[in-house]
A and B are shown apart, each in its own frame.
Chain A
Amino acid sequence: MSANEDQPSYREAMREALREALREDERVFLMGEDIGRYGGSYAVTLGLLDEFGERRIRDTPLSELTFVGAGIGAAMAGMRPIVEIMTINFSLLALDQIVNTAAVARHMSGGQVGVPVVIRMASGGGRQVAAQHSHSLEAWYAHVPGLSVMAPATVGDARWMLAAALEDPDPVVIVEHSGLYNLRAPLGEPPAPDRAWRAAVLRPGDDLTIVAYGGAVQTALAGAERLAEEGIGAEVLDLRVLRPLDVDAIVEAAARTRRVLVVDEGWRTVGLSAEIAAVVSDRAFYDLDAPVARVCGAEVPMPYAGHLERAAIPQPEDVAAAGHHLVAADG
């Protein structure tokens, strides 16, 4: 991770993306808990109230079900709301609206009523905020036809992904990892339009591919660095989008390096890592030199105590150990 304070942070990049959207499209407005006067629970929206006013930067009551539902209604009526939910754990209070209305309205209206809403939420652990603020539930949303799910893992994606989400005529959930907001890096250039929804190789390597998304991408990169020290070349594939999953990129990577390690902060059982392993098994089985390996979040509610929390979240040394084992297991 860069310590260069001159470079923009993930938080600032996301704020700039929101600012650009508000400037460019009068239909865009923001809604959520403490996004205005407080400046956002992660300070992403700090300053936007002063710049755009209360009409478009709307502090809501603590009514997740209804302010998400209202965002859906406003989207049905032609607006482009961006709704912020403090954490993905709280989004469960709005799960009914997201899954039972936003995801299905277009279908059950025979294509008439789309819901172009963007719902942002923070996910993931590492800040000792325990079991009701730390979980990685993005697989729940990635499971649902009718939704799209983005997981910006880099400062560049924090800056550039929102525009693609807003252009989308259907609901998009953006999962931001809470541990990334202070990450600093150059913004880079916006991706080519045909790459906006595709996975990206962040680090080349020939011996294995580490597939990751969200906060786990930094862990994967750090693990790849350790593997490089022992002479193992690990490619890091950042999924970027969890639905639609870039299956081709995963399969191509498996064919290229013949070994796949999935790093997922979410729980292993019935999770995204299982889906990725199944994709590789379906489409690249005969390219593999070893079974797909997985490093996932421990299957416990997130503990408060720092040493236990650390043990529950994939760490660079876990990634390095799994990568080492995967390469050593070569037949």
Chain B
Amino acid sequence: MTGTPPSGAPDVLALHRRMLLIRRFEEACAELYAAERIRGFLHLYVGEEAVAVGALDVLDPGDSVVATYREHAHAIARGLEPGAIMAEMIGRAEGCSGGRGGSMHLFDRARGFLGGNAIVGAGLPNAVGVALAQSMREERALTACFFGDGAVAEGAFHESLNLAALWSLPVLFVCENNGYAMGTAIDRALAQTDLAMLASRYGMPAQKVDGMDVRAVRAASAAAVDGIRADGGPAFLECVTYRFRAHSMYDPERYRDRAEVDRWRARDPVLLHERRLREEGLLDDAGAGALAAEAEQAVAAAIAFADAGTLEPVADLYRHVYEER
């Protein structure tokens, strides 16, 4: 899948800003979890920032996004207000899901952000359906669907790739291959670990991408999106990445050793991109400091917004089960 020009030249500083914001946001979430402000399950995206930022940079406002339970980054990259996301984290009515969803279920209908889904693989059929609606209405829109390597073991993965290809539906399948389905290494779960090859067998263009390189992800996504908009049919990206932190805040990480984590940390997507920006003369110490401060301020503002939020009255418990009429 080469030769298709990207939809436009990337704003490489904007990509960097977004990754920094996500990194700082996730670190703040870990701090708030330790302080028992955020409860429940919390899955952080630290190490995988280049995937969400690179892929979502090429979407149009009219497109839709279906994400996983590790989806703070996708929400931020899709333009949801960090304050509304943080308010959701701490269960406030001002949260992007009104406090009913929490970390794993961020939604924003206006931005086509159709949720974090915490059933592994369950988002894929939904993305196929959203794309079916887009296709039947002959819209130019597409649906980006994020999932991990763990989802590849689910029947829904295979059924969804088959149906999207069979019906030529505009889905961008983005597999975040971080090497582990929770604690099970990919080669202990899948007989075929070349996921791009696997997807290509369903009859769609599929590419393996360095998921630690935001520009590579962005370029591959742009080419895939151009192809989808031209042909209507789906495309598949396998973004090879790594989760630096534990699966969730309950994970003692018995299944991997420190040396492996350190090897991947040497390819930190944020630091890689910063180094490249410096080499290109687009960033210096002062600039880097300013960007870091900007991210810090944005996250502080998000926390302040969340802290100022309100608790939904218990009398409203039964709201949102059915539409209010």
* Interface, chain A (partner B; CB < 8 A): 29, 55, 58, 60-61, 63, 65-79, 81, 96-97, 100-101, 105-114, 145-146, 148, 169-170
CB-nearest residue of chain B to A107: B320
**CB atoms of B322 and A170 under 8 A apart:** yes
**Interface assignment of B319: CB less than 8 Å from any CB of chain A:** yes
Chain A residue numbers with a CB within 8 Å of B269 are: none
17 A-B pairs in the complex with CB atoms less than 8 angstroms apart: A61-B162, A66-B128, A69-B128, A73-B133, A74-B132, A76-B114, A77-B134, A78-B133, A106-B320, A108-B100, A108-B115, A109-B100, A109-B320, A110-B98, A111-B324, A169-B322, A170-B322
Q: What size tier do the contact residues of chain B reach? A: 35 or more
**CB atoms of A66 and B156 under 8 A apart:** yes
**CB atoms of A113 and B129 under 8 A apart:** no
Within 8 Å by CB of A101, from B117, B133, B162, lies B117
Most buried by A among B64, B115, B320: B320
**Interface assignment of B122: CB less than 8 Å from any CB of chain A:** yes
Chain B interface SS verdict (over half): mixed
- Known A-B contacts A108-B97, A113-B109; the reply to A73 vs B128 at CB < 8 A is yes
CB-nearest residue of chain B to A75: B129
A123 to B143, CA, bound (A): 35
Chain A residue numbers with a CB within 8 Å of B162 are: 61, 63, 66
A74 CB → nearest B CB, Å: 4
B73 CB → nearest A CB, Å: 19
**CB atoms of B133 and A108 under 8 A apart:** no
**CB atoms of B160 and A66 under 8 A apart:** yes
B29 CB → nearest A CB, Å: 19
* 6 nearest A-B pairs in the assembled complex, by CB-CB distance: A73-B129, A69-B125, A110-B98, A70-B129, A77-B133, A66-B159
**CB atoms of A113 and B115 under 8 A apart:** yes
A109 to B88, CA, bound (A): 10
A241 CB → nearest B CB, Å: 13
**CB atoms of A70 and B136 under 8 A apart:** no
CB-nearest residue of chain A to B104: A108
- Known A-B contacts A97-B122, A97-B125, A109-B115; the reply to A169 vs B108 at CB < 8 A is no
Q: Interface digits, B285-325 against A, CB 8 Å rule (1 contact, 0 not)? A: 00000000000000000000000000000000001111111
**CB atoms of A69 and B124 under 8 A apart:** yes
**Interface assignment of B101: CB less than 8 Å from any CB of chain A:** yes
**CB atoms of A60 and B163 under 8 A apart:** yes
**CB atoms of B156 and A77 under 8 A apart:** no
Within 8 Å by CB of B129, from A77, A146, A170, lies A77
A212 to B96, CA, bound (A): 43
A143 CB → nearest B CB, Å: 14
Chain B residue numbers with a CB within 8 Å of A169 are: 322-323, 325
* Interface, chain B (partner A; CB < 8 A): 64, 66, 95-101, 105, 107-109, 114-115, 117, 119, 122, 124-134, 136, 143, 155-156, 159-160, 162-163, 166-167, 319-325
CB-nearest residue of chain B to A101: B122
**CB atoms of A71 and B129 under 8 A apart:** yes
Chain A residue numbers with a CB within 8 Å of B98 are: 109-111
Chain A residue numbers with a CB within 8 Å of B166 are: 61
Q: A61-B159, A67-B125, A112-B108 are in contact. List 18 more A-B contacts (CB 8 A).
A: A63-B162, A66-B159, A66-B163, A73-B114, A73-B127, A73-B128, A73-B130, A74-B130, A96-B122, A97-B126, A109-B101, A109-B105, A109-B107, A110-B101, A110-B320, A111-B324, A113-B109, A169-B323
Chain B residue numbers with a CB within 8 Å of A146 are: 321-322
Chain A residue numbers with a CB within 8 Å of B108 are: 112
A79 to B135, CA, bound (A): 11
Within 8 Å by CB of A69, from B97, B143, B156, B325, lies B156
Most buried by B among A65, A68, A72: A65
**CB atoms of A108 and B105 under 8 A apart:** yes
**CB atoms of B122 and A69 under 8 A apart:** yes
**CB atoms of B125 and A65 under 8 A apart:** yes
A178 to B130, CA, bound (A): 31
A77 to B321, CA, bound (A): 19
A294 CB → nearest B CB, Å: 29
- Known A-B contacts A69-B128, A70-B129, A73-B125; the reply to A79 vs B136 at CB < 8 A is yes
Chain A residue numbers with a CB within 8 Å of B167 are: 58
**CB atoms of B129 and A69 under 8 A apart:** yes
**CB atoms of B163 and A108 under 8 A apart:** no
CB-nearest residue of chain A to B154: A65
A50 to B303, CA, bound (A): 58
Chain B residue numbers with a CB within 8 Å of A75 are: 129
A77 to B143, CA, bound (A): 11
Within 8 Å by CB of A111, from B132, B134, B319, lies B319
CB-nearest residue of chain B to A69: B125
A72 to B134, CA, bound (A): 14
Chain B residue numbers with a CB within 8 Å of A109 are: 97-98, 100-101, 105, 107, 109, 115, 320
B100 CB → nearest A CB, Å: 5
**CB atoms of B322 and A72 under 8 A apart:** no
- Known A-B contacts A65-B159, A110-B100; the reply to A77 vs B130 at CB < 8 A is yes
- Known A-B contacts A65-B159, A76-B114, A111-B98; the reply to A106 vs B323 at CB < 8 A is yes
Within 8 Å by CB of B109, from A65, A79, A97, A112, lies A112
**CB atoms of A145 and B321 under 8 A apart:** yes
B171 CB → nearest A CB, Å: 10
CB-nearest residue of chain A to B171: A73
Chain A residue numbers with a CB within 8 Å of B97 are: 108-110, 112
A101 to B124, CA, bound (A): 12
B92 CB → nearest A CB, Å: 11
Within 8 Å by CB of B99, from A68, A71, A110, lies A110
B124 CB → nearest A CB, Å: 7
**CB atoms of B323 and A101 under 8 A apart:** no
CB-nearest residue of chain B to A65: B156
A97 to B128, CA, bound (A): 13
Within 8 Å by CB of B95, from A61, A65, A110, lies A110
A109 to B99, CA, bound (A): 9
